Amino acid sequence: MKITRVVTADVRFPTSVDLAGSDAMHPDPDYSAAYVTLETDGDLAGDGFTFTIGRGNDLCVAAIAALGRQLVGVDVRDLERDLGPIARSLTNDTQLRWLGPEKGVIHLAAGALINALWDLRAKAAGVPVWKLLADLSPVEIVALVDWRHLTDALTPEEAVELLERAVPGRAERERRLLAEGLPAYTTSAGWIGYPDDVVAARCADVVAAGYRQVKIKVGASAEDDLRRVRLVRETIGPDIRLAVDANQTWEVAEAIERIRQLERYDLAWVEEPTSPDDILGHLAIADAVEVPIATGEHCQNRVMFKQFLRSGAMEICQIDACRVAGVNENIATLLLAAKYGVPVCPHAGGVGLCELVQHLSMFDFVAVAGDQPGRIIEMADHLHEHFLHPVDIRDGRYRAPAVPGFTSTMHAGSIAAFRFPDGPVWSGR
Amino acid sequence: MKITRVVTADVRFPTSVDLAGSDAMHPDPDYSAAYVTLETDGDLAGDGFTFTIGRGNDLCVAAIAALGRQLVGVDVRDLERDLGPIARSLTNDTQLRWLGPEKGVIHLAAGALINALWDLRAKAAGVPVWKLLADLSPVEIVALVDWRHLTDALTPEEAVELLERAVPGRAERERRLLAEGLPAYTTSAGWIGYPDDVVAARCADVVAAGYRQVKIKVGASAEDDLRRVRLVRETIGPDIRLAVDANQTWEVAEAIERIRQLERYDLAWVEEPTSPDDILGHLAIADAVEVPIATGEHCQNRVMFKQFLRSGAMEICQIDACRVAGVNENIATLLLAAKYGVPVCPHAGGVGLCELVQHLSMFDFVAVAGDQPGRIIEMADHLHEHFLHPVDIRDGRYRAPAVPGFTSTMHAGSIAAFRFPDGPVWSGR
């Protein structure tokens, strides 16, 4: 069975209308997927995507098409052996890498394609991606990673040892995963565009639904932030964890001052306090405040994760399934986080990011970091209905997917309806 | 006079044929420009571009077209007052910024447009860009910069003070600039694809032409690097400076080992020893070796420059005219480099990068850092014939351009001939 065609789609949801997804830096997002299907001459296809917030989704689609050409002709059986080298060749095209290197549009596109390859490989194997990964040997896992520019922090040999130590506990953790799932928190209660009464009502709802952590957006005026954080803390009571997300809005000194004002409300973490590129700025903030500093959703590649994790600037590691070059590069980050003892709490506010990233957390739980205190996965409660196999959350916990693949397949009807600019949802505007 | 139309062109030169421009990471570059013309309803037009090495140039062109829409209708007279806010609005589009933020394709595109705006503004003022910048007041210069995420290293107030200190010497330095130019070094002698005899012959030629520094590519095998460096040092003698460029190929520990092997040949600097994203890796290398560590051509934005410069990881600051968001963001970097006392020695190996970046160095010399020891500008000796006003190098020194604008305008015939994929140079292949 060979890949015969790379089919792309520019799918956009008009979320800016009701401000779902709004934050201090992104007041009007239209949650979008630069979607790709790897068609084969057999009865399987691999689906993947990268997430954007509207304008520019077309650039990612074009980059996916450009990079994807090299996948035509790949034999699906060879993915078992070659997914490491293929992923490296997608991120190291000798001319395209100039556009990054390994960042921005070209890297988002590589992520979509590499995730689609994993969907295809897992479908061919008849297992979900988390299970496929969790059953690989340490040596097989390590061979998936591009080790270039990582070895000052972690060598392949050390990574094999780290993974070997987790092997004896894999079966017991898999049993627990299947029985109990992994904990989720929700961001859907506190988008920055929501008025106070909506935030309070939604927080009450999600606690009633079994969530043990909520997250709200901050980064507006100091008064607004304080009022919202106090309101939510009063609504959810002292036993539910509360995280806040500043979405990059603060200067370093300002972040320290603002976080100190909010600390009294017992925060689980403060997310993206300043520029996502500012390793040394995050480190200064982390050193100055008690609350753990979280970041990662805009962290462009494994070299940045290496520095953030090793220096102590990232105290909660928020991997994103699509921002870096897909599963393979995320494995590098999971290994680094495990080495430095940093909990991985993925970013999933976006279209389909929950569906994808749950697999990575489940793999991390079973076969990499194991039973880590503080492990929790973001859940943003919208747009799941467009996927064939939406996430299954019960009592505030992600349940392990059982269907083969990456649960990354969108309904054909959703793609047709929301296709930009010619689908009926957009052409009528 | 208003901007009426944003016209783009995908211009590519088949440089991979003769390996001009080849290095350890980019063995087969086709030097390319994602070119843009801002047409007006008057008799002036602004030309800008970003540099790529072939595939993916189309993505930059598409991003320029997408971002450029917001410039239609801008009054050229307003650029005098508004180039700061306009540049910030190009880099902070609420949806497009997700694709970076401020990095990769979207940022390369912003650079092309902002440079084109400077070309237009300078043509309207009847002066070259370097002179226009060097005549601005400190307050006007500072207003051009996006200060977000910089203030922990440098505040606008400090920057004004720094610039005020340079005001008394401006006239004398401008006089010297016009009389003597600024020193250049050449990279054209030592592309990695060149055999030893070509490298030796070219090095002898450039020294004879008056250059006081050459640079060659390393990053091949240790033996090859040693042989090439020794050959060049023997060819040029002890009085000509010799820099080497590893183009990101080494791991951190490997870089330290390899640089120690080469140090005996009295190197001016070692460039891009490892990942361009690895601030802490560069810092470890800089701490371990005597030779100054140079980097910057792949440095994505001012937040990365801030960290590199402040930490001591970047001992030679290699700004690029197009990688960051054009003139405005480069001013931020010049100010940071001046504060931390790091010499600015621009990257210019590419199409038209020499033509652009000379203006920034001349501005830096006259009005920012002033008479800095070690100041030198890269010169790559090819493709200049495609520009209306190619750089003027005499006795190994860049002479100050006198024509109005950014010397960024390409011959219409060159654009037509090298347009990809339909120009005659490409359609025949």
Question: How many Å is the Cα radius of gyration of chain A?
Answer: 20
In tens digits, chain A (429 residues) has pLDDT values of 999 999 999 999 998 887 777 777 788 899 999 999 999 999 999 999 999 999 999 999 999 999 999 999 999 999 999 999 999 999 999 999 999 999 999 999 999 999 999 999 999 999 999 999 999 999 999 999 999 999 999 999 999 999 999 999 999 999 999 999 999 999 877 777 788 898 889 999 999 999 999 999 898 899 999 999 999 999 999 999 999 999 999 999 999 999 999 999 999 999 999 999 999 999 999 999 999 999 999 999 999 999 999 999 999 999 999 999 999 999 999 999 999 999 999 999 899 999 999 999 999 999 999 998 899 999 988 899 999 999 999 999 999 999 999 999 999 999 999 999 999 999 977
Contacts of B108 in chain A (CB under 8 A): 99
Which residue among A104, A251, A301 places its CB closest to the CB of B106? Answer: A104
Contacts of A58 in chain B (CB under 8 A): 62, 66
Cα dihedral A200, A203, A208, A213 sign: negative
Q: What is the structure's pLDDT at A104? A: 97
**Domain A3-128 belongs to what topology?**
Enolase-like; domain 1 (3.30.390)
- Tell me the residue ranges of DSSP E strands in A276-412: 293-295, 316-317, 377-379, 393-394, 397-398
Q: How far apart are CA B274 and CA B129, in angstroms?
A: 33
Give the position of tokens 């037509």.
Answer: B416
For residue B126, give the amino acid letter. Answer: G
Task: Determine the residue of chain B that is closest to A26 in CA distance.
Answer: B94
Task: Determine the residue of chain B that is closest to A102 in CA distance.
Answer: B104
Express the helix, strand and coil content of chain A in percent, nearest 5 each: 45, 15, 35
Which residue among A106, A253, A274 places its CB closest to the CB of B56? Answer: A106
Question: Across the interface, do B55 and A96 touch by the CB < 8 Å criterion?
Answer: yes
Is B229 within 8 Å of B265 (Cβ atoms)?
yes
Cα dihedral B113, B115, B119, B125 sign: positive
Residues in CB range of B326: below 8 A, 6 or more apart = B48, B87, B110, B111, B112, B113, B114, B115, B117, B118
* Burial class (CB within 10 angstroms; exposed 0-12, middle 13-18, buried 19+) of A147: middle
Candidates A274, A279, A318, A277; CA nearest to A153 is: A279
Q: How far apart are CA A222 and CA A24, in angstroms?
A: 13
Give the position of tokens 């290994």.
Answer: A335
Q: How far apart are CA B88 and CA B329, in angstroms?
A: 9
Q: How far apart are CA A56 and CA B109, in angstroms?
A: 12
Contacts of A303 in chain B (CB under 8 A): 275, 277-278, 281
Which residues pair with residue A242 across a beta bridge?
Answer: A214, A267
**What distance in Å separates residue B279's CA from the closest CA in chain A?**
8
CB neighbour burial string for A257-279, b if at least 16 within 10 angstroms, e if fewer: ebbeebeebebbbbbbbbbbbbb
Q: What is the structure's pLDDT at A349? A: 87
Contacts of A298 in chain B (CB under 8 A): 101
Is B322 within 8 Å of B108 (Cβ atoms)?
yes
Task: Determine the residue of chain B that is closest to A29 in CA distance.
Answer: B95
H or E element in which residue B59 lies? helix B57-68
Residues shown for chain B: 429
Left if phi > 0, otherwise alpha if psi is -120 to 50, otherwise beta: which for A212?
Answer: alpha
Task: Determine the residue of chain A that is closest to B102 in CA distance.
Answer: A104
Q: What is the structure's pLDDT at B193? A: 77
Question: Across the interface, do B277 and A304 touch by the CB < 8 Å criterion?
Answer: yes
Which residues pair with residue A397 across a beta bridge?
Answer: A183, A394
B219-241: average pLDDT: 93
Which of B55, B58, B248, B310 to mutate: most A Cβ within 10 Å? B55
B284-294: average pLDDT: 98
B182-205: per-residue pLDDT in tens? 999 998 777 777 888 988 899 999
Q: How far apart are CA B32 and CA A243, in angstroms?
A: 46
Question: CATH 3.30.390.10 region(s) of chain A?
Answer: 3-128
For residue A207, give the amino acid letter. Answer: V
- Mean model confidence pLDDT for chain B: 95
Whether the predicted interface score ipTM is above 0.90: yes
Cα angle value B46/B48/B53 (rounded, 5°): 160
B77-90: per-residue pLDDT in tens? 999 999 999 999 99
* Burial class (CB within 10 angstroms; exposed 0-12, middle 13-18, buried 19+) of A83: buried
Q: What is the structure's pLDDT at A382? A: 87
The Cα-based distances of A359 to A142, B134, B166 in angstroms read 18, 56, 57
Q: How far apart are CA B52 and CA B328, in angstroms?
A: 20
The Cα-based distances of A310 to A304, A337, B281, B423 in angstroms read 10, 9, 11, 50
- Which one from A107, A123, A131, A217 is the annotated catalytic residue? A217
Question: CATH 3.20.20.120 region(s) of chain A?
Answer: 167-413
Task: Determine the residue of chain B that is closest to A149 in CA distance.
Answer: B251
Cα dihedral B191, B197, B202, B204 sign: positive
- How many other CB atoms are there within 10 angstroms of residue A324's CB atom? 28
Is A318 within 8 Å of A346 (Cβ atoms)?
yes
The string of DSSP letters for A215-263 reads EEE--S-HHHHHHHHHHHHHHH-TTSEEEEE-TT---HHHHHHHHHHHG
B143-164: average pLDDT: 98
For domain A167-413, is the CATH number 3.20.20.120? yes
For residue A187, give the amino acid letter. Answer: T
- Which one from A103, A306, A347, A359 is the annotated catalytic residue? A347
Q: How far apart are CA A85 and CA B9, in angstroms?
A: 34
For residue A214, the SS3 value is strand
Contacts of A299 in chain B (CB under 8 A): none
B166-413 in CATH: which number?
Answer: 3.20.20.120
Contacts of A63 in chain B (CB under 8 A): 56, 59, 105
Axis-axis angle for helices A57-68, A105-125 (nearest 10): 60
B47-67: average pLDDT: 97
For residue A295, the SS3 value is strand
Residues in CB range of A56: below 8 A, 6 or more apart = A105, B63, B66, B95, B96, B98, B99, B106
Q: Which two tokens stand for residue A113?
A: 């394609």
DSSP A186: E
- Strands B397-398 and B182-190, by their bridges, are antiparallel
Which residue among A54, A93, A253 places its CB closest to the CB of B55? Answer: A93
**What distance in Å separates residue A201's CA from the closest CA in chain B?**
28
Q: Which two tokens stand for residue B303?
A: 């937040």
Which residue among A26, A95, A275 places its CB closest to the CB of B98? Answer: A26
Question: Across the interface, do B284 and A53 touch by the CB < 8 Å criterion?
Answer: no
The Cα-based distances of B124 to A30, B42, B129, B137, B228 in angstroms read 39, 10, 11, 19, 48
- Strands A241-245 and A213-217, by their bridges, are parallel
The Cα-based distances of A72 to A33, A65, A387, B421 in angstroms read 22, 11, 25, 22
Chains A & B: contacts with CB separation below 8 Å = 186
Which residue among A94, A99, A149 places its CB closest to the CB of B104? Answer: A99
Express the helix, strand and coil content of chain B in percent, nearest 5 each: 45, 15, 35
